[in-house]
């Protein structure tokens, strides 16, 4: 019965494509412990060091006491909405100066739900070719037509719009702001220009930028002063905020439409109230005081040749990438191989994620070792 599955697993192992779940002892800010050994964690999205922080956890629990339960036991449209959910949504709307916000259980839920529902039959989506898998999955589940334009190529996108826009009702352009596997930044000004010129809706996924970029930590759009030009902004609480969940904020009509059409929202039990409260508490009480650390982290990323805090070291083959991670591991650095389908074939890489506690020497020691192995 399982012969075909077993054969597929054998092929994955042969191609250095097999994945398994790593077992850790525990995490402590920038370090991760495996078999009682300490490693510098360069594969974390804990950009501000807020997750796994004992003092922050203790401070929050002292604040929360017994006010919030550990389970919602229902979907939001049933009995899964308590006041703290609306308080967090109102807070997000206020800081972004948007009409309405909707919380999702994760960034994956948000992107699948939005991209599968916002465009229907007779509509079209134009998506950057390096957009996250969750965006791609959402488009594939939609009843719309979609086109993927070459990464950050605005000329190619405009040619697609000239050729195709007239053939559809609603048109959506969707892009990440900071691309999760490359660390580069979208040409947001041109995306806005094109969405206005060709009467499109612009959706921007700020998952890796929310909490990191901008004076208030709202993302790349805040840093460039463009927040009001984006129809729908997606952000996550599970990365820089150190919590769990995601949000979409924007035009009320679009948010109301998602409440009624986005299946991952409609049919999922809502996140625990205490988790929602933690996200709100972090945004109000911790995020405003991280500007200097965030700025230093981004400067370090730029020094390493990236536009952000994500630094890709492209190795090429799966096996060479896995082998390089092993060398790094034996030298005290925890990294993970990034392989297709997360990245295009032939571009397997090590993706170094900075956090505010990682220093210059640690980063460049890891980069030097990885590049040394690549050249051999």
Q: What is the DSSP string of 187-237?
A: -HHHHHHHHHHTT-EEEEE-TTTTTTSSTTS--HHHHTT-GGG-SEEEEES
* Dist CA 315 CA 177 (whole Å): 24
The reply to whether CATH 3.40.309.10 applies to domain 21-48+290-375 is: no
What does the DSSP 8-state code read for residue 119? S
Give the pLDDT confidence of 299-352 residue by residue, as tens digits: 999 999 999 999 999 999 999 999 999 999 999 999 999 999 888 889 999 999
Contact 373, 341 (CB under 8 A): no
Residue labelled with tokens 């400067």: 299
Q: Please, what CATH class does the domain formed by 68-287 belong to?
A: alpha beta
pLDDT of res. 373: 65
Contact 204, 128 (CB under 8 A): no
pLDDT exceeds 80 at position 376: no
Compute φ and ψ for 169, nearest 5 degrees.
-80, -90
299 contacts: CB under 8 Å, gap ≥ 6: none
**Domain spans of the chain?**
21-48+290-375, 68-287
Give the pLDDT confidence of 17-36 residue by residue, as tens digits: 899 888 899 988 899 999 99
pLDDT of res. 17: 86
């Amino acid at each position: 019965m399982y012969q075909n599955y077993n054969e597929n697993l054998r092929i994955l192992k042969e191609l250095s494509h097999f994945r398994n779940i790593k077992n850790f002892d525990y995490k402590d800010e920038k370090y991760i412990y495996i078999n009682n050994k300490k490693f510098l964690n360069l594969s974390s999205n804990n950009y501000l060091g807020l997750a796994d922080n004992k003092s922050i956890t203790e401070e929050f629990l002292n604040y929360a006491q017994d006010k919030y339960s550990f389970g919602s036991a229902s979907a939001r449209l049933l009995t899964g909405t308590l006041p703290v959910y609306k308080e967090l949504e109102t807070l997000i709307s206020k800081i972004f100066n948007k009409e309405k916000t909707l919380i999702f259980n994760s960034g994956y839920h948000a992107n699948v739900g939005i991209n599968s529902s916002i465009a229907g039959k007779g509509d079209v989506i134009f998506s950057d070719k390096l957009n996250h898998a969750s965006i791609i999955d959402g488009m594939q589940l939609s009843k719309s037509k979609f086109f993927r334009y070459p990464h950050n190529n605005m000329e190619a996108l405009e040619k697609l719009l000239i050729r195709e826009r007239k053939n559809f009702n609603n048109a959506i352009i969707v892009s990440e702001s900071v691309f999760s596997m490359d660390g580069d930044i979208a040409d947001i000004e041109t995306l806005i220009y094109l969405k206005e010129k060709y009467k499109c809706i612009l959706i921007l996924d700020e998952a890796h930028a929310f909490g990191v970029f901008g004076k208030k930590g709202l993302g790349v759009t805040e840093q460039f002063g463009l927040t009001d030009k984006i129809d729908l902004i997606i952000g996550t609480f599970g990365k820089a905020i150190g919590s769990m969940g995601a949000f979409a904020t924007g035009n009320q009509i679009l948010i109301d439409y998602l409440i009624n059409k986005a299946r991952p929202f409609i049919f999922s039990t809502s996140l625990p109230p205490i988790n929602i409260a933690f996200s709100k508490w972090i945004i109000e009480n911790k995020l405003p005081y991280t500007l200097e650390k965030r700025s230093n982290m981004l400067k370090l990323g730029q020094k390493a040749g990236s536009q952000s805090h994500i630094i890709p070291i492209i190795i090429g083959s799966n096996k060479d990438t896995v082998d390089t991670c092993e060398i790094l591991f034996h030298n005290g650095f925890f990294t993970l191989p990034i392989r297709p389908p997360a990245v295009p074939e032939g571009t397997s890489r090590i993706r170094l994620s900075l956090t505010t506690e990682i220093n210059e020497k640690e980063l460049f020691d890891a980069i030097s070792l990885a590049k040394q192995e690549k050249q051999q």
